[in-house]
């Protein structure tokens, strides 16, 4: 596989001839249509060995080179937010590239009850693809992550017991393989109670054969302050749990100033700390699968940035006839454009280059694997880059 950066004036036909592949192979690997205008600075995946991807059809008798045995084995999780037709279709397409699927999410109420999910169809498709489902639990209410719910759960023994019993009954009923707990904005004073809760979960779920994992804020040190960070004790999570997912994204968040969503330099800083307190074979690196569009000038407290797929970001750059740039420090692509109302925009997104850089980090640190936030997504490049980077571990 090659990753080609489009130069001014290049065409699909010329690139196909240069790399000795067909136009259709480039189109399929990058989710293009034959009529798409290439954007200067755009990254294109150029298939070499197998001459096909999961997004086109394999002809009978077509030869392919299978070399996955030489790739490092890694576990791959994906959170899924759309459990309807779009999500089901996505899992059917990419299930072979996943170890785990985490439908997002079961939500705990302050009395320990759960707000459930209509997840049976997604779980059935996952099992057909030999994907192990994880039950995702959050402290989200109608307004987002709720610190008060977390506080009640962690400090009320009877409510916590109801909660744990509900988790066990749901896991058993739905056939989940384990639990992934994503408690965010936990009150700082509750960090020890959160650790105690994790011990309880492990003591109840491990004897039943279920794994327990957590999602952790991207900390840079053990002393990092802030509501998002304090209660996430990397050392204890690494000691107690089967694995952790580091949420190494959202530096460029929708309510903040424009910047890379998952800058490589910051991801590396998180890993440099994490590997000192968490075993390497328990660390999953979060991978963002989306783009952000900020209207300039940025005004704190103003309208949030739009969030959409990396594929749409490319289409937007083509529509406004702008060039894509690549920031070397963050290893992330971005561009600016002026809309019909004369407003300047700045867009940061992920492409094959930025994803490859993060996969290289995972291999370089010899970590357990990766976790995508979030499916479904229009970003076919990521699967091609993954298939050329890792051999996916299957547990089913």
Residue positions annotated with a catalytic role: 184
Cβ atoms 95, 147 nearer than 8 A: no
Token pair for 379: 């970003």
Q: How far apart are CA 347 and CA 290, in angstroms?
A: 11
- The C-alpha atoms of residue 289 and residue 125 are separated, in whole angstroms, by 22
């Amino acid at each position: 596989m090659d990753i080609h950066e489009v130069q001014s004036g290049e065409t699909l036909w010329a690139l196909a001839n240069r790399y000795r592949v067909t136009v259709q192979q480039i189109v399929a690997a990058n989710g293009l249509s034959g009529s798409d205008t290439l954007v200067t600075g755009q990254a294109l995946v150029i298939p070499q060995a197998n001459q096909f991807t999961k997004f086109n059809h394999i002809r009978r008798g077509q030869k392919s080179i299978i070399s996955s045995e030489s790739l490092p084995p890694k576990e791959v999780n994906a959170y899924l937010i759309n459990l309807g037709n779009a999500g089901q279709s996505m899992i059917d397409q990419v299930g072979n590239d996943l170890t785990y699927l985490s439908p997002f999410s079961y939500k705990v109420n302050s009395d320990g009850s759960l707000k459930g999910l209509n997840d049976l169809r997604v779980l059935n498709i996952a099992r057909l693809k030999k994907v192990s489902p994880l039950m995702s639990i959050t402290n989200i209410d109608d307004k987002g992550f709720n610190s008060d719910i977390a506080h009640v759960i962690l400090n009320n023994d009877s409510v916590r017991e109801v909660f744990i019993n509900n988790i066990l009954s749901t896991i058993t009923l739905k056939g989940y393989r384990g639990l992934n707990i994503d408690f965010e904005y936990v009150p700082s004073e509750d960090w020890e109670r959160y650790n105690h809760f994790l011990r309880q979960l492990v003591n109840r779920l491990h004897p039943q054969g279920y794994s327990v994992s957590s999602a952790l804020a991207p900390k840079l040190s053990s002393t990092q302050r802030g509501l998002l960070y304090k209660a996430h004790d990397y050392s204890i999570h690494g000691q107690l749990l089967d694995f952790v997912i580091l949420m190494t994204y959202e530096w460029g968040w929708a309510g903040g100033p424009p910047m890379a969503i998952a800058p490589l330099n910051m991801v590396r800083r998180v890993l440099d700390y994490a590997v000192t307190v968490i075993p390497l074979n328990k660390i999953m690196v979060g991978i963002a699968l989306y783009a952000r569009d900020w209207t300039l000038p940025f005004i704190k407290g103003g309208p949030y940035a739009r969030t959409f797929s990396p594929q749409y970001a490319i289409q937007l750059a083509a529509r406004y006839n702008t060039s894509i740039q690549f920031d070397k420090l963050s290893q992330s692509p971005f561009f600016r454009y002026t809309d019909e109302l004369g407003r300047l925009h700045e867009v940061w997104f992920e492409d094959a280059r930025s994803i490859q850089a993060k996969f290289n980090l995972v291999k370089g640190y010899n970590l357990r694997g990766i976790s995508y936030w979030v499916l479904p997504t229009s970003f076919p490049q990521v699967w091609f880059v993954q298939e050329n980077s890792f051999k996916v571990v299957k547990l089913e």
